[in-house]
Structure 1
Amino acid sequence: MIDKKEIGDILSDYDEDNLTIGVLCSHSALQLVHGAKREGFRTLGICLKERERAYKSFPLASPDEFLILSDFSEILKLEHQRRMREENTVILPHGSFVEYVGPRNLVDRFRVPMFGNRASLEWEGDRGKQREWLKKAGVRVPKLYERPSKIDGKVFVKFAGAKGGRGFFVADSKASFEEGLEKRIEDGKISRQDAEKANIQEFVPGVRYYPHYFYSLLDDRGAKVRGGAIELLGMDRRIEPIDESYRGLPNVPSEFFDYTVTGNEPLVIREKLLVDLIRMATGVVETSKELFPPGIIGPFCLETIYHPERGFTVFEISGRIVAGTNLYPEGSPYSPYLFEEPMSTGRRIAREIKDGVKKGRLGEILY
């Protein structure tokens, strides 16, 4: 892993009064660029040629300049990394950035300062480590099946990486598990390597809630946590083809049984349940400080299911901005209780970087 001191040495050569915010053109790039521009930053879009026109179609969220690549992995080329450093670039990572470039590459080969703690990539990307993190944080997690032969009820089968639910499926026996794997390999939705690392979780009934948090080291307006504060900036529910399965009744076509995320819906939660959401986030942040100091920094999301009798079950954590935040470019139903101005998660990241410069603490929030 690239040492934080090495990134600090690179940052020491930066002109902090002339930073460039770099974003890979996918996932939540429009929101991130829009927020960075609102905070007065120059912006750089790392973009595939076929996407450039689309991103130029939204002038208030279009990067000031583009770095055009034929494949996103080309960002690892030394010439591109050198250019970004020369332009005082700070990268804002998101799910597509991690998936396309690769968490291992970002940890070992990408020598451009990124917002947040890149050490969190190892804990977020490894489902075993992620489960350890969540359990130590004191939150309920689904039962895990180590082997398909142990399946004794309905299970949810997932795969590593930010795949947006692609290839995920439900099974209820070893036979249906193996059949599901083979079908998805044949359809090209997963690889043999993905199949070997399949994660088999208990299927948890309930309502899905995806709260969007921001942990700040520089501002104390949210829920106080050792060394900073947690802000609840929004919430969403993800839209998947399976949600429309009722339209195929009584004989539901197999195409409906697809968990690929295709969009997001805004929502608010029953107010008394905010107590649980803040409690869980506090445990996650405090535990991260112990597992990978200084812990998680900036945006993160707990992917939860709520059942009136069982409470919240957290089945995954995203240690970065999630696409559900795109619902709120002008702020969510929760952000006005924290800020007296429109505040998206994208703008909140840019504000934290600006505050880091003002307070001489930029190095604490970049790695």
Structure 2
Amino acid sequence: KFRVVKGGIKLEEKVEQPLILKAEFAHRKFERGFIFAANSADLEEKVRREVEAGHLDEEALKYARVEEYVPGPHANVNFCYSPINAKEEWGDVEKWYAKLYGVSLEEARSYLANELISIDERRETTHDGVIRLPADVQLKVDWSKTPYPLTFEVTFHGDISIRESLLKDVHLVANAFLKATQLYEPPGIIGAWCLQTIVTWTKVPRVKVYEGVSLGLYDVPEAAEVYMHIPYTQDVALRHGGGANVHLGVGGKYAVARYQRRVSVGDRIALEVRRALKKNLLAEVVT
């Protein structure tokens, strides 16, 4: 938390870890800028300099966000939620799913109807070029004196996959968000959507050996500190994700595995509309 003061911001508490401020540019309101800092004092000083330079203004800071910087690879996880499949019976699959995760059969059907299509990552300019420089050069370069401003403009997308053991964790995060939208903004998500996520590696509260197994951890000594992958969602796109064009012509790898043919996000949307027409359920999938 922070308050806006003359010429910058003041955080309510001292923070001794990396932070990121997200705020709209003063000269380009539709685009956000990012300020990275080593701690709260560093962030306050950097914001002061940006305001002084005219890159940020008081109005933008009122709506800015300061977040903990979570280290880890970024991923856009593309899903397609099927209201039609959520009404279907899944037989033993839904029963075992409900038992495994301690949810109702209705919730199990809803979660099973949230299909994973693909995963992609962003390549951003000029950031990706800067981080390829040796650290000593990065520290010396004054980019304000060059034709190349430091930006995070999305330029490319790359197709990636996640460790199979982590699929369940991503699904659990997606399920929680899906349920929240259904609860607070009914009918919730319909069709294609994208979970923008960071997966980090961090310590979890001390667990007993048998509890570790429930987290997917094995052979953990009783007194050991336990570390594991933890997904952190930083944003969502309630639409066809922009990076889904990486599987154009070949299909999203997870959708291909499910349907045994090429299925892109666009294909999956078309399939849902087609099935809805056949079942006279079009009102369930459009608004």
Contact 2:81 2:192 (8 Å CA) reproduced: yes
Instruction: Tell me how far apart the structure 2 counterparts of residues 322 and 165 of structure 1 sit (CA, whole Å).
Output: 18
Q: 1:219 to 1:201 in 2, by over 3 A?
A: same
Aligned to 2:120: 236
Residue in structure 1 matching 2:48, options 171, 175, 178: 178
Aligned to 2:200: 307
SS of aligned partner of 1:276: helix
User: Which sections of structure 2, spanning at least 5 residues, go unmatched?
Assistant: 4-8, 98-107, 204-229
CA-based RMSD: 2.8
Aligned to 2:264: 344
Instruction: Tell me how far apart the structure 1 counterparts of residues 282 and 116 of structure 2 sit (CA, whole Å).
Output: 23
Aligned to 1:199: 65
Give per-residue Cα distances to partners, 1:258-296, cap 9 Å, x unaligned: 222111111111110001011111111111110101111
Instruction: Tell me how far apart the structure 2 counterparts of residues 267 and 164 of structure 1 sit (CA, whole Å).
Output: 29
Aligned to 2:283: 363
State the shift of 1:165 in Å. Answer: 6.8
What is the TM-score with the length of structure 2 in the denominator?
0.67
State the shift of 1:324 in Å. Answer: 1.0
Instruction: Tell me how far apart the structure 2 counterparts of residues 234 and 191 of structure 1 sit (CA, whole Å).
Output: 39
Instruction: Tell me how far apart the structure 1 counterparts of residues 172 and 192 of structure 2 sit (CA, whole Å).
Output: 16
Aligned to 1:157: 21
Instruction: Tell me how far apart the structure 1 counterparts of residues 30 and 109 of structure 2 sit (CA, whole Å).
Output: 31
Aligned to 1:282: 175
1:248 aligns with 2:133: yes
State the shift of 1:191 in Å. Answer: 7.4
Residue in structure 2 matching 1:264, options 152, 157, 163: 157
Q: 1:214 to 1:352 in 2, by over 3 A?
A: same
Instruction: Tell me how far apart the structure 1 counterparts of residues 237 and 109 of structure 2 sit (CA, whole Å).
Output: 19
Q: 1:358 to 1:242 in 2, by over 3 A?
A: same
What is the TM-score with the length of structure 1 in the denominator?
0.53
1:333 aligns with 2:253: yes
SS of aligned partner of 1:248: coil
Instruction: Tell me how far apart the structure 2 counterparts of residues 323 and 343 of structure 1 sit (CA, whole Å).
Output: 16
Q: 1:157 to 1:242 in 2, by over 3 A?
A: same
Instruction: Tell me how far apart the structure 2 counterparts of residues 365 and 182 of structure 1 sit (CA, whole Å).
Output: 50
SS of aligned partner of 2:170: helix
Q: 1:178 to 1:338 in 2, by over 3 A?
A: farther
Give per-residue Cα distances to partners, 1:173-205, cap 9 Å, x unaligned: 21212323554x54xxx7764443111111111
Instruction: Tell me how far apart the structure 1 counterparts of residues 187 and 109 of structure 2 sit (CA, whole Å).
Output: 13
Name segments (4+ residues, structure 1) moved above 6 Å.
none
Q: What is the aligned residue count?
A: 217
Q: 1:159 to 1:231 in 2, by over 3 A?
A: farther
SS of aligned partner of 1:168: strand
